[in-house]
Amino acid sequence: MQQFPCPFCGLRNEQEFHFAGEAGKTRPDTMKEVSAEQWSAYLNHYNNPMGKTCEIWVHLPCQEYFVMQRDTVTMEVFASEQIRKDLK
Amino acid sequence: MTKTYSAFNIIKEAFKGHKGWSPAWRSPKPKAQYEVIIIGGGGHGLATAYYLAKNHGVKDIAIVEKGWLGSGNTGRNTTAIRSNYFYPESCALYDLSVRLYEKLSIELNYNVMFSQRGLMVVFHSEAEMEMAVRGMNAMMLGGTDARLLDANEVKQRAPLLNYRADARYPIHGAVIQERGGTARHDAVAWGYARAADALGVDIIQNCEVKDVIIEGGTMTGVETNLGPIRASRFGAAIAGHSSVLARMAGYQLPIHSYALQAFVSEPLKPVIDVLAFSSTYGAYISQSDKGGLVIGGGLDRVPSYGQKGNMPMQENVLSGIVEFAPALAKVKLMRHWAGIVDVTPDSSPLIGPSGVEGLYINCGWGTGGFKAIPAGGYLFAHLLATGSHHEISRPFDPSRFQSAQLIDEGAASGIAH
């Protein structure tokens, strides 16, 4: 069983996590004209990299979304960081 | 040299000490230039080359394969063949495949051991049975065979399963596709390879595509560990690694790669002679001719290119099997493996142009590529030869993601993944 690092709960079993998508996508600006190709690329197209990747995951028990960097071949996890900004 | 496989030739060769058999296929050095290059020497790539040569008369074809033939998902599946899908587009596609499988051993002069022993999807509640009837009606409208079984009929067909009243999920009935079954996976790859080779196709193993050569927006060659090879058209049939080629050529695909695990047990006396599926238990089972129980289940939940599985899904599948067929609890597993499958958002394949001129793709079969090998090859060959879709493959063009005309089998046929 692999353990993933939740930025809030620490190392937890992999079943507690859900893959939410690749990091770095920007939702099209709906105040402007958005073509079918742009929507499709945003909704459906992925880099799906072999090797190092940067993804958004959710830790289901605490419901926090975070960014995790890992390797899709070796399954090694390099880092995880919170998306939420601390209140000032 | 003896080439045709027949009882007569076996007897003839027996008198000569079996010294006259020719190799099933050649191992040629790649030429500098071909008319068509197929990337990927799995079932789909080999079938594509065969149908290109056979049905379309294309003579100058090479297949480049980074490992050995069938070393990817063709050799890593559970060999189930079926066409019990929901949408008419899918029924047409997968039933073409079943029909081609039915004649494949004769067509290829190679015994692929297609055994139409029946494929039974078991349901565990009255609500599930209602959905099963709906699905069965859709299959019959789509031209596929399907029949409803009540709990007693299921028990007659597969006494091995759990019929106890206190089962975690009691069996209420099933839908059976009698034409469904299994085939020998290596034989499918080898049969297509041998038949394609006989038609002049160059099968080049241990030849990995390292990069693509694109000139003026058109793909004109591949850089390989054996040097550059050029062609005027390219067909990629590389399943879970489709996104790797996409990255080289500069396009994106609606694909995530996941590991799909499977298991085979020690050989047993015959205990089950149908394929039994249960979405509720998240597992399915059949018995191979050697007696091994072939066990499969859902995808690993972590996107992966590592051809090995993770423990949570093993536990899911195996605990499902033990409840589905409790008599198997003490059976030992002999082997276990994982293949990298290419999963699309609608669980339907992608057949069509890649977006780069000259390069066509056949991918996105996800967890069900093996059953689709003959149809995938047949339709992809049509696309590569004519530049336009066969009517059966047209709905599966990648442009469906722009027009939002998805064929969502993930939702419709209750595939768990």
CATH code for the domain in which residue A51 is found: 3.30.2270.10
Provide the residue count of chain B.
Answer: 417
**CA of B248 vs chain A CAs: smallest distance (Å):** 11
Cα–Cα nearest to B189, from B65, B326, B323, B329: B65
Residue B210 and residue B173 share a domain: no
B297 in a structural domain: yes
Contact present, B277 and B263 (Cβ < 8 Å) = no
| Minimum CA–CA partner of A38 in chain B | B402
Interface of A with B (CB under 8 A): 1-2, 13-15, 18-19, 36-37, 39-41, 43-51, 53, 55, 72-75
B15 in a structural domain: no
Across the interface, do A73 and B302 touch by the CB < 8 Å criterion? no
Contacts A–B by Cβ distance under 8 A: 73
Residue B406 and residue B273 share a domain: no
Q: What is the mean pLDDT of residues B208-224?
A: 97
Q: What is the mean pLDDT of residues B292-312?
A: 92
Q: Is the pLDDT of residue B95 over 80?
A: yes
Total domains in the fold of chain B: 2
Count Cβ neighbours within 10 Å for each residue of B377-404 and write b for 16 or more, e otherwise: bbbbbbbbbeeebbebbbbbbbbbbbee
Q: Which domain holds residue A7?
A: 3-82
User: Which of A48, A53, A68 is best to mutate for the B interface (most B CBs within 10 A)?
Assistant: A48
Residue B286 and residue B275 share a domain: yes
A87 in a structural domain: no
Rounded to whole angstroms, how far apart are CA atoms B134 and B131?
5
Nearest Cβ partner of A72 from B255, B303, B403? B303
Q: Is the pLDDT of residue A68 over 80?
A: yes
Pairing of strands B33-39, B61-64: parallel
Q: Which domain holds residue B335?
A: 119-178+256-343
Q: Which residues contact B231 (CB under 8 A, 6 or more apart)?
A: B33, B34, B35, B36, B37, B62, B220, B221, B222
Q: What is the mean pLDDT of residues A65-80?
A: 96
Backbone angles phi, psi at B78, to 5 degrees: -110, 15
Rounded to whole angstroms, how far apart are CA atoms B404 and B144?
26
For tokens 């190709």, name the residue.
A37
For tokens 């419709």, name the residue.
B412
pLDDT confidence of residue A86 = 78
**CA of B271 vs chain A CAs: smallest distance (Å):** 32
From chain A, the residues in CB contact with B246 under 8 A are 48
**Domain boundary residue among B298, B322, B343?**
B343
Residue B338 and residue B389 share a domain: no
Contact present, A48 and B243 (Cβ < 8 Å) = yes
pLDDT confidence of residue B415 = 52
B13 in a structural domain: no
Rounded to whole angstroms, how far apart are CA atoms B108 and B407?
32
A22 in a structural domain: yes
Cα–Cα nearest to A4, from B303, B314, B243, B262: B303
pLDDT confidence of residue B171 = 97
pLDDT confidence of residue B417 = 45
From chain A, the residues in CB contact with B302 under 8 A are 2, 14, 19, 75
Supply the ipTM of this predicted assembly: 0.94
Q: Which residues contact B402 (CB under 8 A, 6 or more apart)?
A: A36, A37, A39, A40
Q: Is the pLDDT of residue B90 over 50?
A: yes
From chain A, the residues in CB contact with B303 under 8 A are 19, 48, 53, 55, 72
From chain A, the residues in CB contact with B72 under 8 A are none
Residue B196 and residue B97 share a domain: yes
Q: Is the pLDDT of residue A1 over 90?
A: no
From chain A, the residues in CB contact with B247 under 8 A are 47, 49
User: Which of B305, B316, B354, B417 is best to mutate for the A interface (most A CBs within 10 A)?
Assistant: B305
pLDDT confidence of residue B174 = 96
Q: Is residue A88 very low, low, confident or very high in pLDDT (cuts 50, 70, 90)?
A: confident
B355 reaches A (C-beta below 8 A): no
A88 in a structural domain: no
Nearest Cβ partner of B401 from A18, A44, A55? A44
Residue B285 and residue B316 share a domain: yes
Q: Whole-number mean pLDDT of chain B?
A: 95
DSSP secondary structure letters along B343-378: E-TTS--EEEE-SSBTEEEEE--GGGTGGGHHHHHH
Cα–Cα distance list, B253 to A47, B242, B366 (Å): 7, 8, 13
For position B401, which CATH number holds? 3.50.50.60
Interface of B with A in 233-262 (CB under 8 A): 241, 243-244, 246-247, 252-257
From chain A, the residues in CB contact with B404 under 8 A are 36
Q: What token pair was written down for B406?
A: 């998805």
B210 reaches A (C-beta below 8 A): no
Nearest Cβ partner of B253 from A37, A45, A51? A45
Residue B271 and residue B207 share a domain: no
Q: What token pair was written down for B27?
A: 């191992």
Sheet holding B119-123, edge to edge: B147-150, B173-177, B119-123, B275-278, B283-287, B292-303, B256-267, B333-343
Residue B73 and residue B143 share a domain: no
Q: What is the mean pLDDT of residues B46-60?
A: 97
Q: What is the mean pLDDT of residues B356-370?
A: 96
Nearest Cβ partner of A44 from B246, B254, B306? B254
Backbone angles phi, psi at B402, to 5 degrees: -85, -40
Pairing of strands A64-71, A52-59: antiparallel
From chain B, the residues in CB contact with A49 under 8 A are 243, 247
pLDDT digits (tens, 9 = 90+) for A9-52: 999 999 999 999 999 999 999 999 999 999 999 999 999 999 99
pLDDT confidence of residue B414 = 52
**Domain boundary residue among B323, B343, B363?**
B343
| Minimum CA–CA partner of A37 in chain B | B402
pLDDT confidence of residue B3 = 84
For position B147, which CATH number holds? 3.30.9.10
Contact present, B287 and B123 (Cβ < 8 Å) = no
**Domain boundary residue among B343, B367, B392?**
B343
Residue B158 and residue B232 share a domain: no
Across the interface, do A73 and B305 touch by the CB < 8 Å criterion? yes
Q: What token pair was written down for B174?
A: 């099933």
Cα–Cα nearest to B36, from B392, B351, B360, B349: B360
Contact present, A16 and A2 (Cβ < 8 Å) = no
Rounded to whole angstroms, how far apart are CA atoms B12 and B275?
38
Total domains in the fold of chain A: 1
pLDDT confidence of residue B412 = 64
A52 in a structural domain: yes
Higher pLDDT, residue A81 or B307: A81
Give percent of chain B with pLDDT exceeding 90: 95
Q: Is the pLDDT of residue B40 over 80?
A: yes
Residue B260 and residue B337 share a domain: yes
| Minimum CA–CA partner of B253 in chain A | A45
Q: Is residue B308 very low, low, confident or very high in pLDDT (cuts 50, 70, 90)?
A: confident
Residue B335 and residue B268 share a domain: yes
pLDDT digits (tens, 9 = 90+) for B376-389: 999 999 999 999 99
Across the interface, do A19 and B402 touch by the CB < 8 Å criterion? no
Rounded to whole angstroms, how far apart are CA atoms B197 and B177?
34
Residue B274 and residue B174 share a domain: yes
pLDDT digits (tens, 9 = 90+) for B325-351: 999 999 999 999 999 999 999 999 999
